[in-house]
Amino acid sequence: MKTIVQMTNLHKHYDGQQIETHALQGVSLTITQGEFVAITGPSGCGKSTLLSIMGLMDVASEGQYQLAGINTQGLKVDQRTDIRNKHIGYVFQSFNLIDSLTVFENVALPLEHRGAKKAEVTRRVEQVLAQVDMEHRKHYRPNQLSGGQQQRVAIARALVGEPDLILVDEPTGNLDSKNGDQVMALLENLNKQGSTIVMVTHDSRYSRCASRQIHLLDGQIVTESTQDTSSPIQGVA
């Protein structure tokens, strides 16, 4: 299996005016194609920092990070953006859809940034909207959708460019339990179809949906566990 994430001894320092925070303290992590990894841990332990570096939104202060075989050290901002656009799909807690665009236009954005041809954009957007069961809402705007529907559209946007890695930050944080369960079932399904997913979550019921759980404490990985997810977790189908 292809190695998607290879982090070696990563450190992240945030330099404040008076206090310096050592948010990641020597994280080494390998994630291979097809894994579904949940990152858990208490508030402030470094989960979002780790996800931001994995998604090339931020850079580590020390250590090495290879994404899909690409060494990410020393890249310029536009090079990072380019690699992110090709290799990463991001799903945020607050959906981050653009209200002035339709569902179709939101999902098409990553492909348009790549300069894909119109016919290819249409084919692929319709395909992923069908995958998340949102084709019937393609002309709607985000503010005409429920939270769960908006998150499904955000997942379609993350999928559309066929990224090597889908990063998901608290996907159910703004959803009630019914919509949260539906979004988790969708993520589980996408993983079964081959997507590699890394998800930050506070919710232990949902972290158990992942095939591997990584627990962070004070910027370090303190425990890792793997499990068989072939049978669905009770209450999340």
Ligand X SMILES: Nc1ncnc2c1ncn2[C@@H]1O[C@H](COP(=O)(O)OP(=O)(O)OP(=O)(O)O)[C@@H](O)[C@H]1O
* Interface residue list for ligand X (CB under 6 A): 14, 16, 21, 23, 41, 43-49
Closer CB to ligand X, residue 13 or residue 208? Answer: 13
Half-sphere CA count of 139, side-chain side, radius 13 A:
0
In the numeric block, the tokens 């250590």 are attached to: 63
Question: Rounded to the nearest whole angstrom, what is the least distance from the CB of residue 203 to ligand X in the complex?
Answer: 12
Question: Rounded to the nearest whole angstrom, what is the least distance from the CB of residue 60 to ligand X in the complex?
Answer: 12
Contact status, residue 75 vs residue 87, Cβ threshold 8 Å: no
The whole-angstrom separation of Cα 151 and Cα 94 is: 8
Question: Rounded to the nearest whole angstrom, what is the least distance from the CB of residue 16 to ligand X in the complex?
Answer: 6
Question: Rounded to the nearest whole angstrom, what is the least distance from the CB of residue 199 to ligand X in the complex?
Answer: 13
Residue 151, both tokens: 């998150």
Closer CB to ligand X, residue 109 or residue 200? Answer: 200
Residue 72, both tokens: 């990410």
Closer CB to ligand X, residue 53 or residue 159? Answer: 53
Closer CB to ligand X, residue 47 or residue 157? Answer: 47
- DSSP class of residue 232? P
The whole-angstrom separation of Cα 54 and Cα 51 is: 5
